[in-house]
Structure 1
Amino acid sequence: MGLIALAGPSTALAQGFKWWQNERFQKELVLTPEQITRLEGIYQTSEPLLRAQKTALDRRDNRLSKVIADPKSDEPAVLLATDRLEAARGELSRTRTLMLFRMRRVLTDEQNVKFKELHEHDRRERERRPKGDPKPDDTSCPD
């Protein structure tokens, strides 16, 4: 389901890739101006919550690291910090999934099939590149 791919807890904000605004995706998916506007609206509506949830996730991750590093911490403290981190991760994932679901519904069945093909092609291309090599262009769809 990678309409906007958010690798792990990161967001499209960090990725900097709005595929519906990319000429290659617009052309190959034959996106209409209305679809582009609707996709952007879904993203803009979701973005503030995604950003806030990513900040909360980072904060919880930092807190867990501190609890683990503290020699005075006990198992209940580690478990509590872990539970809070995983709850934050779950909230971010749920928001992202709902955004992707809404975006999927903007596309036709044919466009969704083509999008999946484009995404898989780009994923295979990234896997073929050696680690650390810059991507050849700006048009690949992030994971």
Structure 2
Amino acid sequence: SLFPFMLDPQDEAERKEQRLAIIADHLGFSWTELARELDFSEEKINLIRVENPNSLQDQSHALLKCWAEKEGPHAAEAGLIKTLTRINRMDIVHLIETKIIKSAQDDTSSHTYAEIERTIAGDHSEGGKTSHNESHC
């Protein structure tokens, strides 16, 4: 594991969601580049774009959700982090490292991916947008 000081599997699952959320929140336009590096087809990338027309953030979240589903329960974030380095997004890697170390030190403020996603979904649900529940991974 990349962060050996986290042993509780429940915590680890939450932190994984947290890390994926951090990545998705900051990818911006890089999400397509990341998708290609992770071997997503152009067709798949376009599908994600079409299904999440509202924001790059939605598209990034959808991509990482698909990646996690594709990779299964043991999706190795180390690979994801290497890939971010490869596409010159060290800023995100550093952010994850500082955030995770911080959250390990003060566990009171941890938000799970599900909570974050609910917050995001809530932001524009009034606009009649159905929240992105169905993904074709």
TM-score (norm 1): 0.37
TM-score (norm 2): 0.38
Larger Rg: 1
